[in-house]
Amino acid sequence: MINMKSSYHSLIAIYLFLFCHTIFRGQEDKTVDSLKFVVSSNSDIAEKIKAYDLLFELFIYNDTEKALEFTKDLDSVANKVNNPEGIIRSTLNLGYYYYVEEKMDSAELYLRRTLDLSKGKEVKDIVLAALDNLSLVEAHKGNYIISNQILDSLGGLYLVDGNYLRYGVTINNIAANHYDQGNYLTAMEGYQKALKVLDTIQDEPYRKADVLRNIGKLNTRQGQLDSALDYLNQALEIYLEIGDNLYAASTFIDIGSVHSDLGDYTKAIEFYEKGLKIGDENNQGSVSVLALGNIGIAYLEQENYLKAIGFLEKSLNYKGSDLSDINKTIYLYQIGKCYTNLKKYELASQYLDSSITIATNQSIGNELLNALELKSINNEEKGDLKNALVNIRLSNKLKDSLFSLENSNKIKELQTIYETEKKEAEIALQHEEIKTLNEKSRADNLKKGLYAGGMASALAVSGLLFFGFRQRIKKNRIAREKQEEIYKQEIEHKKKELTSQTLHLVQKNTFIQELMENLENIKNSPEKFKMEFRRIVMLLKKENASDKDWEVFKSYFADVHNDFDQKLKTIYPDISEKEIRLAAFLRMNLTTKEIAATLNVLPDSILKSKYRLKKKLGLDKETDLNQFLNTL
């Protein structure tokens, strides 16, 4: 029994080390069979718990149902002998299983139960894991403040404990929350910081892949598509190498989305189908449902509406995985768009109304805007001009609200950066204090058993530590004061920018109000109303891109960005007004889709214009257009 126990621990160490290269690489059966031997033998309960836990880790990203089976077996074995640690660990694993399956209510239930069962027990690692996973659940539900509060606490604990792997993972998770909130600058800073930490750690290489994938997704959102593909392919290579099927499949889908943004829908479908294949083969419902939806949207872009509807319906009706509200909203209004194009207007209305209801109830602003605009088009196509006008009004009001909110969020983001820096400085100081106290404790213990020479050495070390600590405090204080001044200047700059945008918004609202008054005047004359309606609708759609609007925007933009257009004309005299307009929007860090919506053109048109602008400016392939414009 003693020899077997010693042998078992050696096996576990080997499996943990070789896992990334063996699991699902031809030696899967041998690895799993060895662990199954441990759980089926007469090993003591502690050994069985570790083996079951490792089996769960091996399968959770590759075959969730097998992972669930091992967790249930662990729970059964632990309950038979009334082993608290086994019961708590199986509860934790159940919580994470439901998180992976995107069944968030069940995930939260089991994770909170884990915390309740852990009270009074020496299971610190389980408590930390439960809190970590609970932060992911809260973020998935949109409770980012709660999620980041949990993660901030965990980050401090990991840093003090010297657990730099978990510290890097925590930084990545906080950054991911900022990304979901639209705080892209803060998110990118967090991702880069996490990457620096994880670059120095060989364990769990998929953690680094997670950060690379997140950077790729952020680059996609910002329209930096070449860079996005580079990061996503780096992440995919790691996932495939270690057999992480869940995230490999998700990354295939991410790469497909980049090709979709590039307008290559055939290639996009190719990558979506790779993700779907892995999802179906490994019982990964959360992946399959997303792949189906994206394939449907790609077929819609190719105007293959019947195929698009088929895939979107499969995604909406997929059993065994919860579809997020935002994806439900998108897939419903995309089906509505398909039926509108097929001239099945009543059927389209049913899907669009369902989409609008979900988006309204869940406050999904951008997608509600898209659904309202599609509903307006549907009403116009079927001749319901009155309701078409109502939906145009609603979408314009919502667009203005989102515009104001976005600028407000830019100010909040800078303030968040400042608060985050302060917290990090406090954590660093606390860490130094703890280190100093630990050194002092060691010095006190040494004094009891050492001769005078040893005591002198210990005191000398303590003196050096104290001096170093004082210097660290001084350095942190100077850096913090300098950073505070920078942030104050940036906030003032952003306030000025917000003011200019608000004035632009006032002019826009005045225009719309005048137009609405004219509509009210002609509404009572049906023959005039019908005749003028289409012209008025087109005028409303083009209002955002009007020349007068642009001149007002340009004057305020020049005040904030120091005669940006004049600098461009000085350097490149033959640059056109349209190209200056595009450069200005890029300087504001608007994405391709946002610029397309503002100018009322297709995203493909913006991509081509960006390419022509880059060529006219004489920039090589490696030079990023946005970064170049930011230097002017």
Residue 453: pLDDT over 50: no
Please tell me the predicted confidence (pLDDT) of residue 246: 84
- Report pLDDT for 400: 53
Structure confidence at residue 263 (pLDDT): 92
What is the per-residue pLDDT for 332?
94
pLDDT band at 436 (very low <50, low <70, confident <90, very high): low
The confidence band for 461, taking pLDDT boundaries of 50, 70 and 90, is very low
Give buried/exposed letters for 268-299 (b at 16+ CB in 10 A, else e): bbebbbbbbebbeebbbbbbbbbbbbbbbbbb
Q: What's the whole-number average pLDDT of the chain? A: 75
What pLDDT, on a 0 to 100 scale, did the predictor assign at position 343?
A: 92
Looking at mean pLDDT, say which of 134-143, 320-329, 387-396, 575-584 comes out highest: 134-143
Q: Is the Cα dihedral 365, 370, 373, 374 positive or negative?
A: negative
Residue % of the chain over a pLDDT of 70: 64
Predicted confidence (pLDDT) at residue 456 exceeds the cutoff of 60: no
Give the range among 41-45, 105-109, 269-273, 541-545 with minimum mean pLDDT. Answer: 541-545
pLDDT, mean of residues 107-123:
90
* CB contact at 8 A, 211 and 185: no
pLDDT at 234: 96
- Distance CA(334)–CA(328), nearest Å, equals 10
Q: What is the pLDDT of residues 364-420, one digit of tens each?
A: 656 777 887 888 787 777 776 666 555 565 556 555 554 444 444 544 454 455 455
pLDDT higher at 577 or 226: 226
251, 232 Cβ separation under 8 angstroms: yes
100 versus 300: which is more confidently predicted?
Answer: 300
pLDDT at 558: 60
Q: Which residues contact 130 (CB under 8 A, 6 or more apart)?
A: 92, 95, 111, 114, 115, 118
Our measurement of the distance from residue 19's CA atom to the centroid of its chain's CA atoms, rounded to an integer in Å, reads: 28
Q: State residue 28's pLDDT score.
A: 55
Residue 486 vs residue 336, higher pLDDT: 336
Q: Find, among 300, 306, 285, the residue nearest to 330 by Cα.
A: 300
What pLDDT score does 472 carry?
53
Tens of pLDDT, residues 4-58: 333 333 333 334 433 434 444 445 566 677 777 776 776 778 888 888 888 888 8
Least confidently predicted of 261-265, 292-296, 330-334, 466-470:
466-470
Specify the pLDDT at position 402: 45
Q: Give the DSSP letter of residue 121.
A: S
How confident is the model at residue 111, as a pLDDT? 92
Mean pLDDT of 223-242: 93
- pLDDT tops 50 at residue 230: yes
Q: How high is the pLDDT of residue 580? A: 83
Q: Which amino acid, residue 33?
A: D
Please give the share of the chain, as a percent, with pLDDT higher than 90: 25
208 has a pLDDT exceeding 90? yes
What tens digit of pLDDT does each residue of 120-146 get? 888 888 898 899 899 989 888 888 888
Dihedral sign for Cα 236, 240, 241, 247, please. positive
Q: Lowest mean pLDDT of 3-12, 161-170, 336-345, name the range.
A: 3-12
Coil, helix or strand for 90? helix
Residue 20 to residue 40: CA distance in whole angstroms: 25
Query: Which pLDDT does position 173 carry in this prediction?
Result: 92
Residue-wise pLDDT tens digits, 601-614: 777 788 888 888 88
pLDDT score at 450: 44
Closest CA to 169 of 131, 141, 142, 143: 131
Mean pLDDT computed over 178-193: 88
- Which region among 104-108, 322-326, 330-334, 556-560 has the lowest average model confidence (pLDDT)? 556-560
Distance of CA 373 to the CA centre of its chain: 26
| Listed range (250-259, 446-455, 622-631) with the worst mean pLDDT | 446-455
Pick the more confident residue, 527 or 334.
Answer: 334
**Confidence (pLDDT) at 482:** 60
Q: Structural domains in the chain?
A: 1-139 (1.25.40.10), 561-632 (1.10.10.10)
For residue 505, the model assigns a pLDDT of: 47
The arithmetic mean of pLDDT across residues 100-122, rounded, is 89
Average pLDDT over residues 274-281: 92
Evaluate if residue 265 carries a pLDDT over 70.
Answer: yes
Question: pLDDT at position 590, please?
Answer: 76
Q: Cβ(74)–Cβ(93) under 8 Å?
A: yes
At residue 496, does pLDDT exceed 80?
no
Q: What's residue 374's pLDDT?
A: 82
Task: Please report the pLDDT score of residue 40 as a whole number.
Answer: 75
